[in-house]
Amino acid sequence: MSEQTPSTTTRVIDGKLAAERVRQEVAVAVAERRTRGLRAPGLATVLVGADPASAVYVRNKRKAAEGAGIISVHHELPAETTTAELLACVAALNVDDTVDGILVQLPLPKHIDEHAVLVAITPAKDVDGFHPDNVARLAMGLKGGFVPCTPLGCLRLLDDEGVTLAGLHAVVVGRSNIVGKPMASLLLQRDATVTIAHSKTKNLAELTRSADIVVAAVGRVKMLGREHIKPGAIVIDVGINRGADGKLCGDVDFDAIQGIALAATPVPGGVGPMTIAMLLQNTLTSFDRATGSLTSTAKKAP
């Protein structure tokens, strides 16, 4: 991580492999609970309308849940669904004792009141961590809530890299409620010095060049290049974009930062798979709280 000695090769942080490991950990934990005679954990997914990317993500989330022994209940509602109808669906899931986690995939069709829906999900089953109670818990550093899956996955990748975050300068590019802000809270909680950049930030390259850790969550094709990265920095690319060639790519120009960054996540195969793995972990945490079956094998929420 020294500024003077740029690494010659940039390590690829393999999110796919790390995600498989987390999924396996969850599968083992679920099996252990079944041997104790407990029911299987349940995850309810709700998809409204036909956004193709959302449909892929939800399908992958359900498949991953089932692979770990979690029962997946899926509700697919037409694009014309009203806010009231969606709220009724959420209300039923809130009181269903077989459901530990409720995930309403975003974005919702424009006519639906997204805030009303997120607030309606009971915080104890809010495995996405989007309910204001859970947002507040994270901001205040209180345990017992849920942290959004994508930033939680980024943190896990940094932990797996063996990075000690205390005292490092982390720059988070993007300030959304689902990625940028919770990511900044998590890094701050680990004693990093955190800067959040956004569309009004001046001299972005100068700022990110002072970072030991860069987390890019913008949604713009390869917007961070070699001029944005300090030699030896670690780069976490959350962006999922379609490039001009029609292929998936991140917010970071992965090829351009080779030999500069110490390590970086690719897209695909970086943060995306970790988002899904952390959803399973949050669902297990919710199950353990509901059944009072926390053991040493259960992962604590940070």
Residues with active-site annotation: 61, 105, 128
Residue 40: CB minimum distance to ligand L37, A: 21
Out of 72, 81, 105, 134, the only residue in the binding site for ligand L37 (CB under 6 A) is: 105
CA atoms within 13 A on the CB side of 51: 13
Stretches 183-191, 194-202, 205-213, 261-269: which one binds ligand L37 (CB under 6 A)?
261-269
Out of 46, 171, 240, 264, the only residue in the binding site for ligand NAP (CB under 6 A) is: 240
Strand partners, 237: 216
Residue 175, interface with ligand NAP (CB under 6 A)? yes
Residue 179, interface with ligand NAP (CB under 6 A)? yes
Residue 105, interface with ligand NAP (CB under 6 A)? no
User: Measured from the CB atom, is 204 or 274 closer to ligand L37?
Assistant: 274
Residue 150, interface with ligand NAP (CB under 6 A)? yes
Residue 90: CB minimum distance to ligand NAP, A: 21
Residue 198, interface with ligand NAP (CB under 6 A)? yes
Residue 200: CB minimum distance to ligand L37, A: 24
Residue 180, interface with ligand NAP (CB under 6 A)? yes
